[in-house]
């Protein structure tokens, strides 16, 4: 009797393992069934994510601030002192202001580059059960977003669109270890490859044997054919540490990105790049000092509040 039960268990184990391996094989061979199932899941999840994001984003940002407590203790003390004076309504208003500032910043960068962009709110982050680094945004194919489009924030490159549904898209962040982008040094125009490492630092390998890397060098995207996946001239980061290995065949360095990927509230997807790449390398503008006005907030207009259905397409001409 016990032996029969043991045999049934072994048979069940074999069936389940073979089924799982069958799915893995199908996926690795490119059968669309598995990709379709994830797309359906994303379509089902995105309305829930939008709702939850609207409700819980203040909590998420609060925990993000706690995470950076050691780094920005002074700023946090000031913020906490201010928070004591504010009512819950004003906290929500400052949340909107913060997103508005990010939106203004990203539109400013897009305007200086002459990009045609669509603004989007971040409604989800990658699952902790996978090692990939992604965000989910609340705009999809209905807004003109396609796969492999460049995504920027107010400070520079964020990543590229990995998957889309009609109302949402998943963006692969530039910090993901599988993310690689061709970049060039603005000072010397030498080109190289930047790769994510899963954290806030990036590895940069120079492809130009005659070129040289210096600490503080600014990097911008080099651009791809037909501007997909990367448009040229987007600020990426600056060199912080040189890797002085004499045995290395190529020069390499550690880079810090301009964009803070842990604090993304609003991003923009670049729908179209200008016909000619920006002649002057773009650099992100420093964040302005945020002043919280303790006055009753009127109903916000759509031009300053990304939360109230931002205009799906924002085209800004280069001045």
User: Which chain residues interact with another protein by CB under 8 A?
Assistant: 8-9, 12-13, 16-17, 19-28, 34-35, 37-39, 41-42, 45, 48-49, 51-53, 56-57, 59-60, 63-64, 66-67, 124-132, 134, 136, 163, 170, 177-178, 196-199, 262
Instruction: Give least dist CB 130 to another protein, A.
Output: 5
Cα(136)–Cα(161) distance, rounded to whole angstroms? 10
Half-sphere exposure of 315 (CA within 13 A, CB side): 6
Helical pair 2-28 and 32-67, crossing angle rounded to 10 deg: 90
Instruction: Name the residue nearer to another protein (CB basis): 51 or 89.
Output: 51
DSSP bridge pairs for 202: 196, 255
CA separation for the pair 165, 94 (Å, rounded): 31
Distance of closest approach, residue 54 Cβ to another protein, in angstroms: 11
- Quote the radius of gyration of the chain (alpha carbons, Å): 23
Give the CA diameter of the chain: 83
Neighbours of 144 (CB within 10 A): 15
Residue whose CB is less far from another protein, 28 or 275: 28
CB of 202 to another protein, least distance (A): 12
Please calculate the CA angle 161-196-105 and round it to the nearest 5 degrees. 60
Toward another protein, which CB reaches closer, 46 or 222? 46
Kindly tell me which of 104 and 197 has the beta carbon lying closer to another protein. 197
Q: Which is nearer to another protein, 20 or 294 (CB)?
A: 20
Nearer to another protein, 178 or 285 (CB): 178
- Nearest distance from residue 234's CB to another protein, in Å? 23
CB of 24 to another protein, least distance (A): 4
Smallest separation, CB 72 to another protein (Å): 14
In angstroms, the Cα distances linking 297 to 61, 93, 97, 294, 301 are: 21, 7, 11, 9, 11
How many angstroms from the chain centroid is the CA of residue 283?
Answer: 18
**Shortest CB 85 distance to another protein, Å:** 25
Q: What is the DSSP letter of 239?
A: E
Q: Residue 134 class from Cβ within 10 Å (0-12 exposed, 13-18 middle, 19+ buried)? A: middle
Rank residues 14 and 293 by Cβ distance to another protein and give the closer one.
14
């Amino acid at each position: 009797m016990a032996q029969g039960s043991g045999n049934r268990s072994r048979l069940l184990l074999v069936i389940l393992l073979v089924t799982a391996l069958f799915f893995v094989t199908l996926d690795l061979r490119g059968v669309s069934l598995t990709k379709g199932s994830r797309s359906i899941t994303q379509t089902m999840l995105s309305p829930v994510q939008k709702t939850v994001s609207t409700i819980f984003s203040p909590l998420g940002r609060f925990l993000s601030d706690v995470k950076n407590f050691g780094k920005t203790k002074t700023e946090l003390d000031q913020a906490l002192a201010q928070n004591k004076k504010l009512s819950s309504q004003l906290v929500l208003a400052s949340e909107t202001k913060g997103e508005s500032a990010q939106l203004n910043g990203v539109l400013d960068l897009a305007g200086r580059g002459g990009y045609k962009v669509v603004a989007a709110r971040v409604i989800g982050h990658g699952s902790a059960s996978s090692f990939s680094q992604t965000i989910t945004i609340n705009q999809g194919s209905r807004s003109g977003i396609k796969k492999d489009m460049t995504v920027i924030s107010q400070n520079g490159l964020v990543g590229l669109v990995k998957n889309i549904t009609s109302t949402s898209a998943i963006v692969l962040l530039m910090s993901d270890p599988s993310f690689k982008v061709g970049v060039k040094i603005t000072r010397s125009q030498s080109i190289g490859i930047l790769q994510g490492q899963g954290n806030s630092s990036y590895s940069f390998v120079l492809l130009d044997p005659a070129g040289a890397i210096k600490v503080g060098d600014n990097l911008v995207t080099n651009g791809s054919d037909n501007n997909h996946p990367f448009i040229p001239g987007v600020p990426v980061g600056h060199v912080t540490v040189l890797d002085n290995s004499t045995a290395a065949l190529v020069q390499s360095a550690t880079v810090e990105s301009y964009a803070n990927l842990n604090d993304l509230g609003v991003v923009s997807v670049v729908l179209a790049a200008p016909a000619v790449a920006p002649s002057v390398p773009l650099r992100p503008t420093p964040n302005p000092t945020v002043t919280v006005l303790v006055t009753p907030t009127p109903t916000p207009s759509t031009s300053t509040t990304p939360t109230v259905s931002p205009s799906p397409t924002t085209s800004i001409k280069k001045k």
